Amino acid sequence: MRQWSSGQVIRNVVRSQMALAACLALVSTTVMAQGATRIAPLDTTAINALRRMGSYLRGLAAFTVEGQTLQDEMLPNGQYASVAGTLSYIVRPPDRLRAEIRTDRKQRQLFYDGKTLTIYAPRMQYYASAPAPATILATMDSARKRYEVDFPLADLFLWGTPRDGIKDLTAASYVGPAYVDGVDTDQYIFREPGADWQLWIQRGNTPFPRRIVITTTSNSAKPRYLVTMHWNTTPILGDAVFAFSPPKGAQRIVLASTGGAVSASGTK
């Protein structure tokens, strides 16, 4: 075995540390350079992925999507509590939709049969109906403007249209590969006035949005909304699925312009 003097040992350690520092500096410089590329204001990779996903969604003849949600809600003392829930859509474009929103705070069902929009609150057993336009998107617009009823994750119906919101983006970046419930996805981050959002898009020929996280930056507390989605593109959907039949004991009320007792964002 070769013998080393204490001076030689010290010099070798110093040289090793210097070499390691140089390697780390090189790696750091490389990572910084990659990072500078990734955080470009509008990365075309991210924009193209968003457009491809939207085009795919608009080409679906029918679909169902089930989501697990988690939302920050402000308490009277100013703190936020995370409220879990579920969201489901049953859709047959261009003029059939059924949705259900269920959390610890509220439960709502929405039915659109091509002519009428009905909102039902099962816990209160109230429902209200109103004439609706001829398409899903027009009905969503009318519900928001006339009755202050917002459909959750309405972007699912805007992506792939001229109203996809891409022109409003101030930043878009690719983060990297990720798994969502065992599915291979790519993660992207986007920024627009008032909101930062993250999107996980399934890889391959079926670019479903699998998870989305929205952070409201216009609020100083920056509350977040998260939903993880599961898709089915081969449902059998007859017209009866979208028709509302009042359950026994349900009471009909007027759908007020302010949203009223059965708005989609109520508390029961």
CATH number of 45-262: 2.50.20.10
Residue with tokens 């952070």, as numbered in its chain:
215
Among all chains, which residue has been given the structure tokens 């429902």?
A: 127
Query: Quick one: pLDDT at residue 104?
Result: 85
Annotated domain spans of the chain: 45-262
* Residues 15/17/21/22 CA torsion (nearest 10 deg): 20
The tens digit of pLDDT for each residue in 176-214 reads 999 999 999 999 999 999 999 999 999 999 999 999 999
Taking the model in full, what pTM does it have?
A: 0.80
Asked if 187 and 198 count as a contact pair (C-beta separation under 8 A), the reply is yes
DSSP per-residue letters across 133-199: -SSHHHHHHHHHHHH----TTTHHHHTTSTTSSGGG-SEEEEEEEEEETTEEEEEEEEEETTEEEEE
- Cα R_g (the chain), whole angstroms: 25
100's CB contacts (< 8 A; 6+ apart) are 86, 87, 88, 107, 108, 109, 110
Q: CA 43, 49, 54 angle in degrees (round to 5)?
A: 130
Q: Say which range, 1-5, 40-44, 86-90, 206-210, has the weakest mean pLDDT.
A: 1-5
Confidence of residue 8 (pLDDT cuts 50, 70, 90): very low
Instruction: Give the per-residue pLDDT at 11.
Output: 39
Mean per-residue pLDDT, 225-240: 96
At 213 the pLDDT is 98
Residue-wise pLDDT for 138-156, tens only, equals 999 999 999 999 999 999 9
pLDDT of residue 40: 59
Query: What percent of the chain has a predicted confidence (pLDDT) above 90?
Result: 74
* Band of residue 78 on the pLDDT scale cut at 50, 70, 90: confident
Q: What is the pLDDT of residue 76?
A: 87
**Coil, helix or strand at residue 262:** helix
Model confidence over 20-61: pLDDT tens digits? 444 444 444 444 444 443 455 899 999 999 999 999 999 999
